[in-house]
Amino acid sequence: MRFNILTLIAKHFWVTVFKTKTIYLLMAVVGMLLIYSVYSGVRYYDQNHFRSDHQEMARESWEANPDKHPHRMAHFGTFAFRTKHPLSQFDFGIESFTGNAVFLEAHKQNTVNFSEAGFSTGLLRFGELSMAMILQTIMPLIIFFIGYSAIVSDKEHGTLKLLLTQGAKWKEILFGRAIGLTGIAFLFSLPFLLITCWLLLSDHHSSSDAWMRFVLISLAYLLFAFVLSLITIFVSTSSKSSKNALVKLLGLWLLMTVLLPRSSQALGSYYFPTPTKLEFRSQIEAEVIQHGDSHNPNDPHYQSLRDSVLAVHQVDDVSKLPFNYGGFVMSIGEEISAKIYNKHQIQLLDQYRNQNRLNRWLAIVNPYLAIKNLSMALCGTDFESYVDFQQQAETYRYQLAQKMNDLQIKYISPSRVSGSEGKSHVVSRKEWKAFPDFEHKYLSTGRSLRNEMVSSVSLILWSFLAIGLIVRQSKRAKAI
């Protein structure tokens, strides 16, 4: 193929498109959608200030506690707030439907609460208008609408013969139009990417990792636009009329953005059902009860534990042990309950992952799902990012509870098995301040990419497939 011919055909396509008034109307509509989506994204991200403030308030409340028994501090607890990734302004993902705060206390693993959906009307189920949503759903429509007649209209008007008789080859015509259409798609996408870049520049929390994610997101959306442009030219070339090409592309859009995603979600929920919140908690509590109650000194399980501890230290009463036995029991009970919770939590997450697996593998045949999944992962608003926050919060909760138990074992008099009255049965408040505050950390770019390897490979495969379709069509295409 000759580069100068490709460039000439692409420029001619641009000139033809921008001669129509429709393109300017589309640009105006997209511009208004962009303004609203940016406003929504900035307002959405501003919640980080509230979460940071509440995290500081929770810390101040924790440190303000006076000298007291460490087990009381373990039950006093604290909060863990999930901070939004800077790129969440671009793609909201599923964050509006997941919680953002969890209360952390001993012996109990609370759920993450206060999702946006819980405080919103039913309109939220129709989706929020983010910049990513526009590029994922509206941009394909624009590409299809601009390019559906790119080749077939020349057939209908007989101008395609003139191009061929003047020396242009089919490959040059098809790829030239595809490049021109991709350029127009890039022109529509550029403001979204530039504004996202500006938002990152204006955010002092942006790191090198965030910029790396932004570069990858930009490349992914450009590749997505290139694939759609090639598909559009292929459909236009293989169709008998402009009307026929438009109907095919609209049907393809419905299949990609509505039918396949909805079907995969419904099938995943049907084949891999999950327990309700009440059922989940009941299963955990039932299993914890089987292992005894660490707060009940007469519990058979812990009576056996006490007898073994007394035998090892060769004493006849827990008050004669060289450490506080109550703290030791709390530590064992915390370890048992945490293991039970983690086991059930892993089983629940595996069910959710099984539900998502069908959607993830459908990305191989649906580039829309590929770009959607990859975009959420890189913006830190996908399911795995939410799960990672849950695991960070649970790890912190367990460490806090065990730290309080260790303080009780070490500093509380062994002669005092329970209770916290008196200055001899308390720990200095310096210990509360010494324990670090919870800090939410984002998933690394590498882990996010590994989680969405199927989507990344899908976009690359689709680009090669689309190029192959154009090459094959160039050998079979007819000017009439």
- Check: CB of residue 234 under 8 Å from CB of residue 181: no
- Residue 108 belongs to what H/E stretch? strand 108-109
pLDDT value of position 107: 85
C-beta of residue 51 within 8 angstroms of C-beta of residue 144: no
The verdict on pTM exceeding 0.75 is: yes
Beta-bridged to residue 137, according to DSSP, are none
Whole-number Å distance between alpha carbons of 31 and 23: 12
What pLDDT shows up at residue 158?
Answer: 74
> What pLDDT shows up at residue 120?
47
Summarised one tens digit per residue, pLDDT across range 61-90 is 999 999 888 988 998 999 999 999 999 999
Q: Quickly list DSSP for 13-32.
A: HHHHHHTSSHHHHHHHHHHH
> 113 pairs with which residues across the strands?
101
Contact 219, 49 (CB under 8 A): no
Residue 79 has what pLDDT?
93
C-alpha angle 63-64-67 in degrees, rounded to nearest 5: 90
Distance CA(263)–CA(27), nearest Å, equals 32
CA distances to 66, 111, 198, 389, 393 from 102, rounded to whole Å, are 24, 6, 32, 10, 8
Max CA distance (Å), the chain? 106
Q: What is the pLDDT of residues 213-270, one digit of tens each?
A: 999 999 999 999 999 999 999 998 888 888 999 999 999 999 999 998 888 888 888 8
Residues 162, 166: Cα–Cα separation, whole Å: 6
| Count of structural domains within the chain | 1
Could you tell me how far CA 41 lies from the centroid of its own chain? 15
The answer to whether residues 369 and 260 touch, using CB atoms and an 8 Å cutoff, is yes
Series of mean pLDDT values for 10-residue runs along the chain (480 residues):
81 87 91 93 86 91 91 91 92 86 88 58 57 94 91 79 77 89 94 94 83 95 95 90 92 92 86 85 84 72 82 85 86 89 90 86 92 94 92 94 91 64 71 91 91 93 94 77
Contact 80, 374 (CB under 8 A): no
Contacts of 68 (CB under 8 A, 6+ apart): 420, 426, 427, 429
User: Average model confidence (pLDDT) for the chain?
Assistant: 86
Contact present, 407 and 70 (Cβ < 8 Å): yes
pLDDT score for 375: 95
For residue 390, give its domain range. Answer: 3-476
- pLDDT attached to residue 96: 80
